[in-house]
Structure 1
Amino acid sequence: MLTIVPILLAVYVCYKVFAVLDGLLGQYVRPYLDGRYIPGLGLLATVVLITVCGWLSTQYVSGRLIRLVDRLLESIPLMKTVYSVAKDTIASFVGEKRSFSQVVLVTMPGSGWKCLGFITMDNVGAWHDPLADYVAVYIPQTFQVAGLTLLVPKEQVEVIDISPEEAMKFILSGGVAVRKQKRLPQ
């Protein structure tokens, strides 16, 4: 059971992702094939469209158009908030300055308990001056999409030598999925 359930779960998730991506543009490709739809064509069309959009964003004319749309979205009050949060979140994972690159242990005051998290801002004082000696630490929650963002004094944060992927796997599995050769510091 311990062997088969993760395999089935991974296959199911891959199948669902494939179905969603295949259906994204598949409905628009289907009419051109005279009813002979090939599974995966919608997925291929989606990948090609994303690649072409990425390439176009690096070109001069289309790059200027994208910057214009960017400025427009940044000027609409409610849209500005949603757009900037989405843009910054994506940039934190794939941008040049990745936010989730430092794994830390945060000592909880008065208890000696430790939480595993990621430094998302190492200079909170630039945002709010009285917090100059604090760092922002994101602590994901097990089995959920949510998490906490704590502003923690720097002396209560210990950077540890674990990859972000290993730390996230440990957190999201509730501590169950951890390599035996790597151990958290004591």
Structure 2
Amino acid sequence: MRTYIITGLLVWLPLAITVWVLLWVVGLLDGVFIWMMSAAQAITPETLHPALERLAKIPGLGVLLMLIGMFLTGLFVANIFGQWWLKQWDRLLSSIPIVKSIYSSVKQVSDTLFSSSGNAFREAVLIQYPRHGAWTIAFVTGRPGGEVGEHLHPEDYLSVYVPTTPNPTSGFFLMLPRADVVELKMSVDEALKYIISMGVVAPPAILDSQARPLVELPRNPQG
């Protein structure tokens, strides 16, 4: 009986968690939509208030309108005129003392992660962390830059992100020598599944090739 109960739990648990996450996202977007409707009531005539209240009570309408809004925004900024307005918007937010620190940081991270031309989280690697002999999976995010890159030779080091388990949205940022970073053949999705499942869902082994260092550093002939 215990085996059957656990088997049934493993069948329904992923579906239950998926439904819970979707309901949470829908509830969050509906909450934003209701707040927007409340703000609209403050600037619209009272004759329109009943209509706005009816719209706010329609379930899922906030999600639909948010998707339409994001689509129209992307369509607008895809041309030269929209790009000009986007630059003006960025310049305005970057001139506000407290807002500019938050907005600039979030924008740089989002542009790096979600840009189609970016290299963040495109490759899974194997490193020794938090001590020598203990191995974990990390993701290459680029090379050290700026002032840090002046102290470290960017061509000899890699910037990696070490996610935590089972929540990969938090983790640690490390800069390691290339010779200490071992390339993996698994995809980023497979690596994330491996991390989230705490090693239970292992990707299939690749028998025709073995993991190898990303870049072999030249050896010093003098030892």
Q: Identical aligned pairs, as a percentage?
A: 30
Q: CA deviation at 1:104?
A: 0.7
Partner residue, 1:105: 126
CA contact (8 A) 1:92 1:100 kept: no
1:160 equivalent to 2:160? Answer no
1:20 to 1, 25, 28: 28
Residue 67 of structure 2 is aligned to residue 43 of structure 1: no
Residues of 1 paired with 2:119 and 2:107: CA distance?
13
Q: TM-score, normalised by structure 2?
A: 0.71
Deviates more, 1:25-34 or 1:160-169: 25-34
Aligned partners of 2:142, 2:94: CA distance in 1, in Å?
A: 22
Q: CA 1:6 to 1:143, structure 2 compared with 1: closer, same or farther past 3 Å?
A: same
Q: Is the 8 A contact 2:185 2:206 kept in 1?
A: no
Determine the structure 1 residue equivalent to 2:216. Answer: none
**SS state at 2:10 partner:** coil
SS at match of 1:100: coil
The structure whose Rg is larger is 2
More displaced stretch, 24-33 vs 160-169: 24-33
Number of corresponding residues: 185
Task: Say whether 1:54 aligns with 2:74.
Answer: yes
Shift of residue 11, structure 1, vs aligned partner: 1.3
Match of 1:3 among 8, 11, 14: 11
Residue 51 of structure 2 is matched in structure 1 by 32
Map of 1:89 onto structure 2: 109
TM-score calculated relative to the size of structure 1: 0.83
User: How far apart are 1:125 and its partner, in Å?
Assistant: 7.7
Moved more, 134-143 or 69-78: 69-78
Partner of 1:138: 161
How far apart, in 2, do the equivalents of 1:73 and 1:141 lie?
A: 33
Give the RMSD, CA atoms, in angstroms: 2.8
Work out which of the residue numbers 47, 63, 70 in structure 1 matches 2:90.
70
Gaps of 5+ in 1: none
* SS in structure 2 of the partner of residue 155 of structure 1: helix
For the residues of structure 2 that align with 1:43 and 1:20, how far apart are their CA atoms?
Answer: 9
